[in-house]
Amino acid sequence: MKRLKYFLVLVMSALLVVVSVGCGAKPLSQQDVLQNAKEANTIMWGVKADTKLMGLIDVKDGQTKGFEVDIAKALTKKILGKNGKAKFVTVTSQSRIPLLKNGNIDAIIATMTINAEREKVIDFSNSYFDAGQSLLVKDGSPVKKVSDLNNRTVIGVVGSNSVENVKKYAPKARVLQLQDYAQALVALKSGQGDALTTDNVILAGMAVENPGYKVQGGAFTTEPYGIGINKNQPAFKKALNKAIKEIEDDGTYNKLIKKWFGDVPGFDYKEVLR
């Protein structure tokens, strides 16, 4: 009996140590994310996994591939040196800010527009890509422009600003919101809506894979993409902006634009060169 008691006391104290060590970690707002990344020689990036051209999981090797993944790798090397590692965590439009704020990722590079509402909760790097919102419709669709969505159903994704924007441009549209772009595309193809709305670059990736569907109505908004980081990380923000400038200046940026968008029908890569 005495032995059991002794054993229990031991287990309890061990647990206490574990708990107090866990609580002892500094809150994220007091940590230097750049310093942590340097120590780990790694930057953890939140990327999309269902967005062809930007971030898409390749089922053959399980790797996430796309323009944003390549940009993240290039920025990592500029910031940490050539042996620096970029690691990738899948995010959706809805999960990206919570994952950043919880410290699961260091930075979001996931088709995220810089806007005032988001700037209340996170910080952004300078813009690294210029997109614009548009529509994906079936060939022959009567929806030719955004105002044609009035009294029709448009499909969007939770956590994107596209669903908010559409309320401005077509206030009488019914909006069906899905969890991610893979589900949104399935909903469009099964006739649950008349159009899918998000940024032209995302829609162009869908059109490539889905003959019979096309990007329609031009870009009716401007969507500058920024890298999302936590607030109070001035050193990390400065390093990211410097690295963006470096990849633009040394030609890496335009090389990657041509690699991913050089050959995409309906998307003029020359408009996004820098």
Task: Compute the least distance from the CB of residue 112 to ligand GLU, in Å.
Answer: 4
Task: Compute the least distance from the CB of residue 147 to ligand GLU, in Å.
Answer: 20
247, containing H or E segment:
helix 234-249
Task: Compute the least distance from the CB of residue 145 to ligand GLU, in Å.
Answer: 19
What is the strand order of the sheet 64-65 is part of? Answer: 50-51, 55-57, 64-65
Q: Residue number with the shortest CB distance to ligand GLU?
A: 160
Which residues sit at the interface with ligand GLU, rule CB under 6 A?
93, 111-113, 157, 160-162, 198-199, 223
CA distance 52 to 114: 21
- The 8-class DSSP code of residue 115 comes to -
Task: Compute the least distance from the CB of residue 118 to ligand GLU, in Å.
Answer: 8
**Phi/psi of residue 200, nearest 5 degrees:** -50, -40
**For ligand GLU, the closer CB: 34 or 108:** 108
**For ligand GLU, the closer CB: 194 or 199:** 199
- The amino acid that residue 126 corresponds to is N
**For ligand GLU, the closer CB: 198 or 216:** 198
**For ligand GLU, the closer CB: 61 or 117:** 117
Task: Compute the least distance from the CB of residue 160 to ligand GLU, in Å.
Answer: 3
**For ligand GLU, the closer CB: 130 or 248:** 130
Provide the CA 272 distance to its chain's centre, in angstroms: 18
Task: Compute the least distance from the CB of residue 245 to ligand GLU, in Å.
Answer: 22
Task: Compute the least distance from the CB of residue 254 to ligand GLU, in Å.
Answer: 22
Which three-class secondary structure state does DSSP give residue 87? strand
153, containing H or E segment:
strand 153-157
Q: How many CB atoms lie within 10 A of CB 39?
A: 9
**For ligand GLU, the closer CB: 37 or 149:** 149
Relative to beta strand 153-157, strand 213-216 is: unpaired
What is the strand order of the sheet 213-216 is part of? Answer: 174-178, 153-157, 195-199, 133-138, 213-216
**For ligand GLU, the closer CB: 78 or 165:** 165
52, 209 contact by CB (below 8 A)? yes
